[in-house]
């Protein structure tokens, strides 16, 4: 097991020297590797068997078949290598996701020359979801390659594998590149109940119910209304019983507070706060966020949500 780890560390160090991390990479001879695929090895074994049979039986037709197949194999080496050679890769952005979801990394692939395209290119990270792409001559294409997000905070995916078996599948040409892009991973939203806070404020919403501060208007009298709320002056003039309505200003904004979530587990608390930020935004409510040492004033909108989720993602990271 230690030998495997040592070999992996040595290979990673060698790759970093040969293909250092870069936001933009052009594939050339130094960065590409090529070996026969499983089908290629089978073909070579068949060619060897045909050649040995031709030598043993002195059969000129068997020699012709063997030389034809080996010529086809040599030509396939050139075409498979050329399919990736010269292609340019650019890391565009890393995107965002929640823990447990797949985060997409956007890449741009550009053709090398106006007369040459690139066909059947496979792109993937280990344990990721492979994507297939092709580029027209003098063209470019954007591809999103996905990878499971396992931990909140900034996430660097590491080296991306780019490979091709084009055109005959006899050889595999590949490389490992680090495009130096980063994704932001939010906590996983977990449902929980949080209390609702209200406090008097002249900046809040006006409530006609149970208000005692400001006169809001008159309405028809209903049995049970208090005598002190009856508009006696209007009654003396019109002989119609009317009741005075009052309103109060109340701040109906939510405060999502770290201290009001029971338990001591850091990730669970952040997951609960993440869920309620998303719920408040869904219902178009003003909400603020309080974390130890961090306060975000109440607001709403996608920018406000992104700011809150970013603070949650990077809290104590």
Does a structural domain hold residue 9?
no
Structure tokens at 160: 């991306």
Specify which residues 199 forms β-bridges with. 251
pLDDT by residue (tens digit) across 268-279? 889 999 998 998
Shared domain check, 296 and 175: no
Binning pLDDT at 50, 70 and 90, where does residue 129 land?
Answer: confident
Give the gyration radius of the chain's Cα atoms: 34
Q: Where are the alpha helices (DSSP H) in 225-265?
A: 232-238
Q: In what order do the strands lie in the sheet with 131-135?
A: 33-36, 171-177, 160-164, 118-124, 131-135
Most confident of 12-26, 31-45, 109-123, 201-215: 31-45
Same domain as 116, residue 23? yes
Is the Cα torsion angle 108, 28, 180, 267 positive or negative in sign? Answer: positive
| 170 and 41 fall within a common domain | yes
Greater confidence (246 vs 56) lies with 56
193, part of any domain: no
Domain count, the chain: 3
Over range 21-40, report the average pLDDT.
91
Looking at per-residue confidence, does 203 or 261 come out higher? 261
Q: State whether 178 and 236 are in the same domain.
A: no
What integer pLDDT is reported at residue 44 of this predicted model?
A: 94
Which range, of 249-258, 267-276, 277-286, averages the lowest pLDDT?
249-258
Task: Say what the pTM is.
Answer: 0.73
Please check whether residues 209 and 265 belong to one and the same domain.
no
pLDDT tens by residue, 80-117: 999 999 899 999 888 899 999 999 999 999 987 788 88
Order of strands, sheet of 242-251, starting from the edge strand that comes earlier in the sequence: 199-207, 242-251, 214-220
- 100 and 24 both lie in a single domain: yes
The pLDDT of residue 70 is 93
Contact 27, 89 (CB under 8 A): yes
How confident is residue 224, by pLDDT bands cut at 50, 70 and 90? low
10 part of a folded domain: no
- For residue range 32-64, list pLDDT tens digits in order: 999 999 999 999 999 999 999 988 888 889 899
Convert the pLDDT of each residue in 140-169 to its tens digit. Answer: 899 999 999 989 999 999 899 999 999 899
Could you list the residue range(s) of the whole structural domain that residue 243 is in? Answer: 205-251
* Domain end marker among 217, 251, 285: 251
Q: How far is CA 27 from CA 84, 176, 231, 308, in A?
A: 7, 10, 86, 40
pLDDT given for residue 76 in this prediction: 94
What percent of the chain lies above the pLDDT cut of 70? 82
- Domain co-membership, 92 together with 60: yes
* Higher-confidence position of 66 and 216: 66
Verify that 158 and 210 share a domain, yes or no: no
Task: Work out the angle between the directed axes of helices 266-282 and 302-314 (0-180°, nearest 10).
Answer: 180
Do 289 and 245 fall into the same domain?
Answer: no
194-207 pLDDT, tens digit per residue, is 655 444 343 444 44
Residue 255 phi, psi (nearest 5): -110, 115
């Amino acid at each position: 097991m230690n030998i495997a780890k040592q070999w992996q560390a040595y290979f990673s160090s060698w790759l970093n020297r040969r293909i250092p991390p870069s936001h933009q990479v052009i594939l050339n001879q130094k960065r590409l590797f090529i070996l026969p695929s499983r089908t290629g090895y089978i073909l070579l074994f068949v060619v060897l068997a045909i050649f040995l049979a031709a030598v043993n039986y002195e059969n000129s037709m068997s020699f012709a078949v063997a030389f034809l197949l080996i010529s086809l194999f040599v030509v396939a080496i050139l075409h498979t290598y050329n399919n990736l050679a010269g292609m340019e890769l650019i890391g565009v952005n890393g995107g965002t996701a929640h823990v447990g979801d797949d985060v997409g990394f956007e890449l741009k692939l550009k053709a090398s020359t106006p007369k040459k395209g690139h066909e059947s290119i496979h792109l993937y990270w280990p344990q990721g979801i492979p994507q297939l792409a092709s580029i027209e001559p003098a063209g470019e294409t954007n591809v999103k390659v996905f990878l499971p997000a396992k931990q909140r905070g900034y996430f660097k995916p590491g080296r991306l594998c780019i490979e091709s078996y084009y055109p005959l599948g006899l050889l595999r040409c590949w490389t490992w590149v680090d495009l130096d892009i980063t994704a932001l991973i939010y906590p996983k939203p977990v449902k929980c109940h949080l209390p609702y806070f209200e406090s008097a404020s002249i900046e809040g919403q006006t409530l006609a119910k149970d208000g005692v501060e400001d006169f809001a208007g008159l309405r028809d009298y209903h049995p049970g209304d208090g005598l002190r709320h009856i508009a006696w002056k209007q009654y003396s003039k019109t002989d119609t019983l009317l009741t005075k309505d009052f309103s109060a200003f109340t701040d109906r904004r939510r405060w999502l507070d770290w201290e009001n979530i029971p338990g001591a587990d850091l990730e669970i608390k952040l997951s609960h706060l993440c869920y309620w930020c998303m719920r408040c935004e869904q219902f178009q409510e003003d909400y603020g966020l309080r974390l130890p040492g961090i306060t975000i004033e109440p607001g709403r909108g996608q920018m406000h949500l992104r700011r809150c989720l970013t603070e949650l993602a990077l809290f104590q990271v």
